[in-house]
Amino acid sequence: MYKIISKKLVVPKEFDVWVEAPRVARHVKPGQFVIIRTNPQGERVPLTVADYDREKGLIRMIFQTVGKTTAEFADMNVGDCLTDILGPLGTPSEIKNYGTVLMVGGGVGIAALFPIIRALKEAGNKVYTILGGRTKDLVIMKEECEKYSDELLITTDDGSAGKKGVVTDAMVELAERGVKIDQSWAIGPSIMMKFASLKAKELDIPMFVSLNPIMIDGTGMCGGCRVTIHDQIRFACVDGPEFDGWGVNWNEFMNRMRQYKDEEKMSLEKYKAEMGEE
C-alpha cells in the first residue's frame, strides 16, 4: 500500500501530493512516470513523477481532476493509501550538457517539466524556461522552475502574469533576441505541444515532447498507447513518453485523446452521483 503523506490544492481541480513509494523513489529519473490504481477495482492511470525524495522514499505527483480515477484520487486524504503504484515506467529524458536549452511548459505539464529542468541545469546547461497558462493562477511551480533557470518567461492568455499571449510568442521573442537554442522540450496540453513543435521547427530548434496518451498496462503489451512518429508506430509507454516533436502526427494523437471522451464523462458523472456530488 502507498500512503499519502501530504496533499494540497494548487489551483481549482489541481492537487499536489507526496506518496510513500520507496522502490519507485529509489530508481525514478526525470521524464519517467508511474501508473496508479486508487482501489483494487479501479482503472490504471498514468501520472508523471514531478519530484522525488530518495532518502525518505517519497514521490510527488501533481494532477488535475479530469476523470473518475483522478476524482477518486482527489477525494483521498493524508493517511489514505493507493492500491498500486507501478513504475518507474518509460524511457528517461536524455540528460546531458547540450549547451543552451529551452523548456516550455503549460498547465500540469509544468510538473513533468520541472525535474527535467533541474537535471539539465545540474548537467551544466544554460536554461531558458517559458511557462504558460490561461491565467496567472494556472501557471504552477514558478519559483521552483525559476530556481534552476537562467531566465524564466511567463505568458498568460489574459495578461494577468508576465506577457499577454501564448508560449510560442515567447519562443519568437527569444529568437529575435538572438538566443541560440541547442535543444528544447515542451510538455503541456496537446494543442500547446503541437504549436510549440511547429514553431520550433520553423525556428530550427530540436524539440522533445512528452506524450501521455491512453495507457493500460504501461509495459508495451496492450498497444493502447500507440502514437505515430515520423510515419512509424511507437508505443509511448516503452518507446517514450518523449519523442521528437517535429515528427508527431498531431492530428492523429489529438483525435485519439478524444476517443473516449463521452465514456469518461459518463463514468465521472456516475461517480459524482454515487458520492452525492453535483
Annotated binding site for FAD: 62-64
Q: What is the dihedral of CA 260, 265, 267, 269, to 10 degrees?
A: 180
Answer for the pair 217, 188: CB distance below 8 angstroms, yes or no. Answer: no
Sign of CA dihedral 5, 61, 83, 262: positive
- Number of CB atoms found within 10 A of residue 215's CB: 21
Distance, in Å, from the CA atom of 266 to the CA atom of 168, rounded to the nearest integer, reads: 35
Distance, in Å, from the CA atom of 217 to the CA atom of 86, rounded to the nearest integer, reads: 9
Query: Which residues on adjacent β-strands are paired with residue 129?
Result: 103, 152
Q: List, in sequence order, the alpha helices (H) in the chain.
A: 22-27, 68-75, 109-122, 142-147, 167-176, 190-202, 250-257, 261-274
Grid cell locating 48: 508523471
Answer for the pair 91, 239: CB distance below 8 angstroms, yes or no. Answer: yes
Annotated binding site for [2Fe-2S] cluster: 222, 225, 237
Grid cell locating 229: 512518429
Annotated binding site: 62-64, 222, 225, 237
CB proximity list for 98: less than 8 A, separation 6 or greater: 120, 125, 182, 183
